[in-house]
Chains A and B, each alone.
Chain A
Amino acid sequence: MMARVVVTGAGVISSIGAGVDEFEKNLYAGCSGVGPSQLLGDGVVAAEVRNFNPQQWLGNKGIRVLDRSARLLCVAAQMALTATGLQQQDTSEGDPNLGLVCGTMFGSVHSITSFDWSGVTDGPTYVNPMEFPNTVINSPAGQAAIKHKLRGVNSTISAGLVSGLYAIHYAAEFLRFGRATALLAGGVEELSEEAQVSFGKVGVLSARGCLRPFGADRDGTVLGEGSALWMLETAESAEARGAKALLEISGFGAAHDAHDIQAYRVRGEGATSAIQQALAAAEIGPEQIGCVIACASGSRTGDEMELHALKNVFGARLEQLPVCAPKAAFGEALGASGALCALTAGLALSKRSIPPIAMLSAAKDVQGDYALVNCFGCDGNNAALVLKGLS
């Protein structure tokens, strides 16, 4: 019997709020973080963490060398550590069984591009050596480990839009195999000119700057940013230290469509399979799912694919099932999306209702103890997570 893995706390920073309480309040008030970008200017619309002031949480020490991704991640980690009483004292070495698993898609792409740009324009001997460490994709996770004395496993997971959910699964596996007792797990993504150009040039961003998941008039997505982390522990170690278990990681499923690196397989075979695997791993049937936190991001084909998959799994019940697409609130935060959606699912289970955002039907009240979180990427990677509410 493998160990049970539970959630004992969270940290989040996003365009709709910093900290779980503010995130929850704004999400359930139906607020959206989509608006003009301060960071990118030039009329760009994005779900940005506005007026971001990491010193508020991290103090001034060591902040300067951290890029935006590292700052976002360090803030979310700080919140989750504090919420669970697992923050390490300044005088301690740090717990070797406490670690971090971070999902990201573009990573610190702006740091990487800027570093290369200075080499291209000024010459290779003029690049700033202090900036080189930020060019590795795992630099935010490494910086967070230094900042918060996390000496256990420190993994970065890149599975495109599915990264955040994979990171939660990866961390849960590590705990089950007994390689750690407590792991921060989730994702981070920063808004960047590079991601904006990348998605803009291939035409997947909403021309109107309007993110309408499942909407008949949807015309693309809007990029978001932020970081969300859960503290995952084995049920046994949480109980031993008297930490309250809020949720259980019940099942994970993953399936690749092996179809195209830049296009959804609209019929949703892989997405359907990922959901079915997650249900099987949780040892429940689809009738036990009380609500669905959808991946839908306003993509014409991506949202259509998800609808196919949901119909395949839930059949006629879909019309009465509470389903919402919270990216309408916090944007398509890429590698952080899965973690933000998982956090939303946890809130829905504890409040017994889904946020009133981009709902698929009128059903709002959660109909059971389990929530399904979907995460489907345009590279064909699909993942689904089943959570159980414990409160």
Chain B
Amino acid sequence: MRRVVITGIGLVTPIGAGRENFWRNLTAGANGIGPVESFDTAAFPVHIGAEVKDFHSEGPRGRGSQLAIAAARMALDDSGIDIKARDRARVGVSMGTTSGEPNMVERYNDARKAGGLESIPADILPKYPCNVIPSNIAIEFDLRGPCLMIPTACAAGNYAIGYGFDMIRSGRTDLMLAGGADPFSRITYMGFARLGAIAPERCQPFDRNRKGMVPGEGAAVLVLEPLDDAVARGATIYAEVLGYGVSCDSHHMTAAHPQGDGAIRAMAMALKESGRGVADVDYISAHGTGTPTNDRVEAIAVRTLFGDRAPKVPMSSIKSMIGHTMGAASAIEAVACSLAIHTGVIPPTMNFEEPDEGSDLDYVPNQARKTDPKIILNNAYAFGGNNASLCLARLQ
């Protein structure tokens, strides 16, 4: 089977768009969280979010599609591939999302409230089903291969990158645009606010006084191609995809399994498929949303799988800076992992002041660190008990 590498990166995040901009800000500990501007939060108990402030949605496509297309364009540019010169029947799109184009449902309800069903414009709901996001990418860049959305909620980005990896590995395609996208959504915000899961001021993953997650938005797209093709064209190779693992807690729709059963199995499956063991892992990109339970369970899972080595493996959550970008999160985190491998620097967990009682894990507090990681696990967990871990490595 063919080896698969990442040779292009494009993203739009609350701390900036584009590979260089994002990485500079991420390693500097930038903050993308602030007062919500997309809608009025006066009736909500919380008011902060992680929005992409400098991205204005215009034109007929939904914001999810627009974020995704922008990320895809940057990724293709970054890869140096002349897509028009390619056999585009061999180029596919694989995206992940939590909510797709939820703003279309919001517009539908706003129109319905204002003027009843008859007043609803015809073009709103057809743009809702989440497959429009990868299809819009295919249309924008004239890509003729397989094209799908994997809406496995907040672990979706890893699932989508995994599918892209499978498609190239098995020889079904020669190039994949894979990632995730989610626009800022009133529905998502309302739900997490009602659950009491949103932090009032800042996001503090793994800190003893953490108070919750912060909903965000964004998109990331990675260009995946066979190693041989990348070498032949002299491409910059950011990282190799070694394998991934997925599992289901089969326990509760919103609460993680208390012992981290599914999280452990996903990490173990990713390592097994990659032909690596816990002793090989140099860094873990945590799901780390900042909610009391999720972070506790993730720490338990890592402690259980890594045993005595757990405190020696740095693990950070970039959600402390960019919030929880939902289905885009693990794709953006896969970008961070790729750039950590490429540059030798791992991003910090910001706002970290005090560890949980008895915790001895290394959360890379508040400062990026030069560690030269070679093998990385990227963790993602989701509603529905979905878990996905992706294993990335420096090319050997």
Contacts and interface: CB of A to CB of B under 8 A. Distances in A.
A313 B273 CA distance: 39
A143 B253 contact: yes
A379 B386 CA distance: 28
A314 interface: no
Interface string B93-110: 100011110100110111
A25 to B, nearest CB: 33
Most buried by B among A106, A157, A262, A377: A157
Contacts of A388: none
Given A115-B190, A201-B121, 11 more contacts: A112-B105, A125-B43, A138-B384, A152-B248, A156-B151, A160-B135, A173-B170, A201-B120, A256-B146, A262-B126, A381-B148
A127 B248 contact: no
Determine which residue in B98, B148, B159, B261 has the highest number of CB atoms from chain A within 10 A of its CB, and name it.
Answer: B148
A330 interface: no
A258 B143 contact: yes
Nearest to A107: B151
Interface string A172-200: 01001101000000000000001101110
Nearest to A379: B135
Contacts of B93: 256
Contacts of A105: 129, 131
Nearest to B165: A177
Contact of B126 (A157, A198, A255, A273): A198
A379 B139 CA distance: 9
Given A138-B152, A158-B149, A160-B129, A124 B246 contact: no
Contacts, number: 250
Contact of A173 (B134, B166, B249, B269): B166
B231 interface: no
A170 interface: yes
Contacts of A202: 122-123, 126
A160 B248 CA distance: 24
Interface in A213-272: 254-262, 270
A380 B147 CA distance: 10
Nearest to A160: B131
A155 B159 contact: yes
Contacts of B159: 155
A197 B383 contact: no
Contacts of B250: 94, 145-146, 149-151, 154
Contacts of B147: 159, 254, 256, 381
A90 to B, nearest CB: 13
Interface residues of B, number: 85
Q: In this complex, which of B100, B170, B191 has the most chain A Cβ atoms within 10 angstroms of its Cβ?
A: B191
B132 A261 contact: yes
30 contacts: A107-B129, A112-B102, A116-B186, A116-B187, A120-B110, A123-B43, A132-B191, A143-B384, A145-B248, A145-B385, A149-B250, A150-B250, A151-B261, A152-B247, A154-B385, A155-B386, A156-B150, A157-B148, A158-B150, A173-B166, A177-B273, A179-B269, A201-B120, A254-B145, A255-B89, A256-B145, A258-B138, A261-B135, A273-B144, A381-B131
Contact of B129 (A135, A158, A257): A158
A163 B34 CA distance: 38
Interface string B229-265: 0000000000000000111111111100000011001
A194 B125 contact: yes
Contacts of A125: 43-45, 193-194
A166 B130 CA distance: 15
B88 interface: yes
Given A124-B44, A158-B130, A258 B194 contact: no
B109 A113 contact: yes
A153 B92 CA distance: 22
Interface in B180-194: 186-194
A142 B191 contact: no
Nearest to A88: B250
Interface string A96-110: 100110000111010
A133 B135 contact: no
A342 B250 CA distance: 27
A348 interface: no
Given A146-B252, A151-B247, A153-B246, A163 B131 contact: yes
A117 B143 CA distance: 37
Interface centre among A136, A177, A255 (most CB of B within 10 A): A136
B131 A116 contact: no
B152 A119 contact: no
Given A139-B383, A146-B252, A151-B262, A158 B131 contact: yes
B113 interface: yes
B177 to A, nearest CB: 12
Nearest to B139: A258
A305 B248 CA distance: 40
Interface of A: 2, 94, 96, 99-100, 105-107, 109, 112-113, 115-117, 119-121, 123-125, 127-129, 132-133, 135-139, 141-143, 145-146, 149-160, 163, 166, 170, 173, 176-177, 179, 194-195, 197-199, 201-202, 254-262, 270, 273, 377, 379-381
B139 A129 contact: no
A135 B132 CA distance: 18
Given A107-B151, A145-B250, A273-B89, A96 B122 contact: no
A138 B151 contact: yes
B150 A124 contact: no
Query: Closest 9 A-B residue pairs measured CB to CB?
Result: A142-B384, A198-B125, A201-B122, A154-B248, A137-B151, A132-B191, A133-B253, A254-B146, A160-B131
B237 to A, nearest CB: 23
B280 interface: no
Contacts of A136: 98-99, 151, 153, 382-384
Contacts of A120: 109-110, 113
Contacts of B385: 142, 145-146, 154
Given A116-B106, A155-B150, A256-B144, A137 B186 contact: no
Nearest to B265: A96
B195 interface: yes
A224 to B, nearest CB: 16
A291 to B, nearest CB: 25
B128 interface: yes
A137 B163 contact: no
A192 B318 CA distance: 38
B142 interface: yes
A64 to B, nearest CB: 13
Given A99-B248, A259-B139, A139 B384 contact: yes
Contacts of B192: 132
B97 A137 contact: yes
Contact of A124 (B138, B170, B193, B382): B193
B28 interface: no
A138 B125 contact: no
